[in-house]
Amino acid sequence: MPELSEIVLFDGLDTASIAALEQAVIVRRYAAGKAIISTDEPSTDIFFVLTGRVQAKRYAPDGHEVVYLDISEGSYFGEFAAIDGQTRSADVIAISEARIARMRGDQFNEFVLRNPRIGLNLSRELVRKLRDLSARVFEFTVYPVPIRIRKAILRLAEQARRPGSICMIRPAPTHYEIAALTATHREAVTRELASLASQGILKTGRQTIEILDLPRLRALADPEQD
């Protein structure tokens, strides 16, 4: 299972450590739309996304959906409960067909104690997530809807970008999912994507968004240049 070595938490580990991790996980496939964990669930396992894409989200009493994180392959989720033993703070749903490796929380904590590199990687990733969430709260408070949508697309593009290849978001979130990420409505997302396409900045296809002009998208996502 070589994909486990690509998980960001395990960057820098030696072959023997990766082999030990492979022995400790269980790999399952999830169909698109399948729930992986649920809010307030008491489990403490941690999950690693080998292929596919999942989302962490919550639902308001009126049914309004709020997406916290879009989690792509090479990343992970469930670390909060694995660390503090508390119940789950969000639902995690497979957005596309996904292969997920699952490890018990107590086993993960043992690996962290034995491998300081995992602890360092975990600390860096937690700081990155906190910065991202802080930035989104600020965006929701001060930026107009078009800027929020552009920033969301830019984040997805930067995650999908690979050196020497086209910048393709695949599978791309639906307009509804982008709306949930940006605290707006689907119609606003549709209008903004159509506007960006008309400017030659991106091209949408079946479950894809191809970024044609990344520097221009960065400029338009900067409110000082809008």
Residues 10 and 75 in one domain: yes
**124 vs 3, more confident:** 124
Residues 107 and 132 in one domain: yes
> Is the pLDDT at 178 greater than 60, yes or no?
yes
Residues 84 and 111 in one domain: yes
Model confidence pLDDT, tens digit, residues 117-161? 999 999 999 998 899 888 888 888 899 999 999 999 998 888 777
Residues 114 and 158 in one domain: no
Query: Is residue 107, in this structure, part of any structural domain at all?
Result: yes
| 25-34, 38-47, 120-129, 155-164: range with lowest mean pLDDT | 155-164
> Is the pLDDT at 226 greater than 80, yes or no?
no
Model confidence pLDDT, tens digit, residues 87-122? 999 999 998 899 999 999 999 999 999 999 999 999
> Is the pLDDT at 165 greater than 70, yes or no?
no
**30 vs 167, more confident:** 30
Number of domains in the chain: 2
Domain boundary among 91, 110, 138: 138
Residues 71 and 105 in one domain: yes
Residues 51 and 91 in one domain: yes
In angstroms, rounded to a whole number, what is the distance separating the alpha carbons of residues 52 and 173? 12
What is the separation of C-alpha 24 from the centre of its chain, rounded to a whole number of angstroms? 24
**Mean pLDDT, residues 164-183 taken together:** 84
**Range of the structural domain that residue 163 is part of:** 144-220
Residues 45 and 103 in one domain: yes
Query: Is residue 226, in this structure, part of any structural domain at all?
Result: no
Strands (E), the chain: 26-30, 35-37, 46-51, 53-59, 65-72, 76-77, 91-94, 98-103, 167-169, 202-205, 208-211
Domain boundary among 101, 120, 138: 138
Residues 59 and 79 in one domain: yes
Residues 119 and 173 in one domain: no
Query: Is residue 47, in this structure, part of any structural domain at all?
Result: yes
What is the CB neighbour count within 10 angstroms for residue 194?
A: 11
In angstroms, rounded to a whole number, what is the distance separating the alpha carbons of residues 148 and 145? 5
Query: Is residue 225, in this structure, part of any structural domain at all?
Result: no
pTM over 0.85: no
Domain boundary among 77, 107, 138: 138
Tokens of 169: 């978001």
Residues 97 and 148 in one domain: no
Query: Is residue 131, in this structure, part of any structural domain at all?
Result: yes
* Residue 163 belongs to domain with CATH number: 1.10.10.10
Model confidence pLDDT, tens digit, residues 180-196? 889 899 999 999 999 99
Residues 163 and 193 in one domain: yes
* Residue 40 belongs to domain with CATH number: 2.60.120.10
CA nearest to 72, candidates 6, 2, 165:
6
> Is the pLDDT at 2 greater than 60, yes or no?
no
